[in-house]
Chain A
Amino acid sequence: GENVEQHPSTLSVQEGDSAVIKCTYSDSASNYFPWYKQELGKRPQLIIDIRSNVGEKKDQRIAVTLNKTAKHFSLHITETQPEDSAVYFCAASSTLSFGAGTTVTVRA
């Protein structure tokens, strides 16, 4: 399947600061890019997604940007809070591939 690279694997931020996670994909046929959040011991849940005809999408403190030319997309979390601590996964639609995940820790 398609290889989706996700960086960084771990991210520690001070409460109130921003967090950025980046993913790259290889299949230009991918046209849908979701982000999932998985809290410890729980199921992954969709937090935001973007389609290839859009360059940026925001939902309160969360935003996703897409660069189709470079084949990468990023998750931005602003004004981080302790409840943002979780593992975040990106995915690319064409072959149902997920990134390896980023463990985000928000320090109080």
Chain B
Amino acid sequence: DGGITQSPKYLFRKEGQNVTLSCEQNLNHDAMYWYRQDPGQGLRLIYYSQIVNDFQKGDIAEGYSVSREKKESFPLTVTSAQKNPTAFYLCASSMGGRSVAQYFGPGTRLLVL
């Protein structure tokens, strides 16, 4: 678990502002993921990346953007186009492919001022 970190733990966004959530892993995992968790709705996939410099949209990508310039890092930007950003955001990583376990970071709670 200590191999994947997220920062900050809490983040406050003003209306119209873009904010970036950090996710770093030292597990040498090829794949990284971003999920959004809302009460009673489980985990919904925002974006995922199977390899550096490549990423795909998940089920709820609208209003979000990502980059994967380094194997260790997969930052998520919540743009002003995301009208309901208040949620718990979880980053995860895995060795690659869909049929392996994912390891989750501690999460970032995003709140709107």
Residues of A whose CB lies within 8 Å of any CB of B are 1, 6, 9, 31-32, 34, 36, 42-46, 49, 51, 89, 93-94, 96-101
Contacts and interface: CB of A to CB of B under 8 A. Distances in A.
20 contacts: A32-B98, A32-B100, A34-B101, A36-B104, A43-B90, A43-B105, A43-B107, A44-B43, A46-B101, A46-B102, A49-B101, A51-B99, A93-B98, A96-B48, A96-B98, A97-B45, A97-B59, A99-B42, A100-B40, A101-B40
B106 A9 contact: no
A9 B99 CA distance: 25
Contacts, number: 51
Given A32-B100, A44-B104, A96-B33, 6 more contacts: A9-B40, A36-B104, A43-B105, A96-B58, A98-B43, A99-B42
A94 B104 contact: no
Main secondary structure, interface of B, reads: loop
Given A1-B45, A89-B43, A101-B40, A43 B1 contact: yes
Nearest to B60: A1
Pairs A-B, 4 closest by C-beta atoms: A32-B99, A100-B42, A98-B43, A43-B104
Contacts of A101: 40, 42
Contacts of B33: 96
Contacts of A6: 42
Contact of A89 (B42, B101, B107): B42
Contact of B99 (A31, A45, A97, A100): A31
Q: Which of A9, A36, A99 has the most CB of B within 10 A?
A: A36
Contacts of A31: 99
B32 to A, nearest CB: 12
Interface in B24-72: 33, 35, 40-45, 48, 58-59
Interface string B67-94: 0000000000000000000000010000
A101 B44 CA distance: 12
A89 B102 CA distance: 13
